[in-house]
């Protein structure tokens, strides 16, 4: 079955549409969330961020941002969002798979060895994400530990990445 959408790298021309989708899905409360605090003031990685297009309209997106956990680089995945009219059509999953493949390629080129996100374990577990052990990573704001998830791109990456999660400042 061919998908009625295309996944493509994010371009600057997509920014406005992505922001509109993010606001629609997460609302103004997103600014108080721990994951947002890690992204605040730090640009996402365009070469690791993607959009879903249907008839050249942005209908979904996923971004990845470099962060630090302790003194080790990691990627923070999110926000992942799909317009409500296009939910449950495989778009979020396709965006996730594309972002993970890109992160693995980035790791192979010397980049971050794991992806961190805050989200629903049941949704992200099939992609290989697992819950972060208690007190292993300290988030900048309180967060439900059951929703703090990690995907190791390298064996035992989580053992190397522990401590306070904070924005990456170049």
Whether residue 79 is preceded by a cis peptide bond, meaning omega within 30 degrees of 0, is yes
The pLDDT of residue 31 is 55
Instruction: Compute the distance between CA of residue 142 and CA of residue 106 in angstroms, rounded to an integer.
Output: 29
pLDDT tens for the 170 residues of the chain, in order: 455 899 999 999 999 999 999 888 887 766 556 677 788 888 999 999 999 999 999 999 999 999 999 999 999 999 999 999 999 999 999 999 999 999 999 999 999 999 999 999 999 999 999 999 988 998 887 788 889 999 999 999 999 899 999 999 76
Q: Which residues pair with 137 in a beta bridge?
A: 163
The pLDDT of residue 139 is 86
* pTM exceeds 0.85 for this model: yes
DSSP 28: G
Domains of the chain plus CATH, in order, are 6-167 (3.40.630.30)
Instruction: Compute the distance between CA of residue 20 and CA of residue 167 in angstroms, rounded to an integer.
Output: 23
**With the C-alpha atoms ordered 68, 71, 72, 73, is the resulting torsion angle positive or negative?**
positive
Residues in the chain: 170
Tell me the C-alpha to C-alpha distance, in Å, between residue 9 and each of 47, 62, 77. 7, 10, 15
Residues 43-56 as b or e (16 or more Cβ within 10 Å = b):
ebbeebbbbbbbee
């Amino acid at each position: 079955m061919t998908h009625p959408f295309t996944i493509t790298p994010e371009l600057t021309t997509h920014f406005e549409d992505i922001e509109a989708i993010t606001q629609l899905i997460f609302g103004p409360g997103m600014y108080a969330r721990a994951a947002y605090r890690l992204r605040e003031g730090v640009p996402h990685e365009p070469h690791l961020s993607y959009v879903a297009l249907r008839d050249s309209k942005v209908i979904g997106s996923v971004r990845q941002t470099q962060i630090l956990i302790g003194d080790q680089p990691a990627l923070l995945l999110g926000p992942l969002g799909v317009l409500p009219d296009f939910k449950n059509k495989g778009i979020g999953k396709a965006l996730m798979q594309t972002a993970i493949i890109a992160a693995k390629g980035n790791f192979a080129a010397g980049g971050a060895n794991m992806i961190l996100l805050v989200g629903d374990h049941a949704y992200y577990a099939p992609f290989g994400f697992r819950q972060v052990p208690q007190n292993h990573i300290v988030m900048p704001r309180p967060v439900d530990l059951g929703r703090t998830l990690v995907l190791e791109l390298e064996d035992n990456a989580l053992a190397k990445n522990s401590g306070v999660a904070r924005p990456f400042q170049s």
